[in-house]
């Protein structure tokens, strides 16, 4: 059980870092920026994975009526909030606004989907 949880967290950490790096490249440094190079991406991925495992489930539970009412579209806002929370916790990660966080969350979701498909194909 603990080994599975650790493996899952490490996978989320790597995918989160990769997704943030891609989002920063696509959105531009004036909207989303990760300073400190590789170590900045490494740290930002760690804190985003931590927020996704610890805080995001609580956000989903508290906003469940909004998620149902919007037919799931409110999850985009929650994903944007998790990116914003990670930027508040980890100062080398700069996110200009909630809208940028939402777009970054969409990019992260797409990267997560691609990595999941690749890992499924390998196993």
Distance from C-alpha of 63 to C-alpha of 67, rounded to nearest angstrom: 6
Q: Model-level pTM?
A: 0.91
CA-based nearest residue to 45, from 22, 73, 26, 27: 22
Residue 12: how many other CB atoms lie within 10 Å: 18
Which of 19, 6, 25, 49 has its CA nearest to residue 115? 19
At 1-36, the pLDDT tens digits run: 777 889 889 999 999 999 999 999 999 999 999 998
Instruction: Judge whether 12 and 85 are in contact, CB under 8 Å.
Output: no
Residue 50: what pLDDT? 95
CA Rg value for the chain: 14
Q: In this structure, are residues 34 and 24 in contact, taking their beta carbons and an 8 Å threshold?
A: yes
Q: What is the pLDDT of residue 114?
A: 94
pLDDT value of position 36: 84
Per-residue pLDDT band at 63 (split at 50, 70, 90): very high
Closest CA to 77 of 102, 51, 107: 102
Question: Quick check: 64 and 12 in contact, CB under 8 A?
Answer: no
Instruction: Return the ∠ at Cα 17 (arms to 77 and 87), rounded to 5°.
Output: 50
pLDDT, position 60: 96
């Amino acid at each position: 059980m603990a080994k599975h949880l650790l493996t899952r967290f490490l996978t989320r950490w790597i995918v989160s870092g990769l997704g943030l790096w891609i989002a920063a490249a696509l959105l531009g440094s004036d909207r989303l920026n990760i300073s400190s190079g590789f170590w900045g991406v490494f740290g930002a991925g760690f804190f985003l994975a931590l927020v996704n495992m610890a805080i995001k489930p609580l956000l989903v539970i508290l906003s469940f009526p909004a998620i149902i009412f919007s037919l799931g579209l409110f999850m985009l806002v929650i994903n944007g909030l998790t990116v914003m929370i990670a930027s508040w916790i980890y100062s080398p990660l700069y996110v200009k606004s909630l809208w940028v966080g939402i777009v970054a969350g969409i990019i992260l979701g797409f990267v997560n989907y691609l990595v999941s498909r690749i890992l499924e194909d390998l196993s």
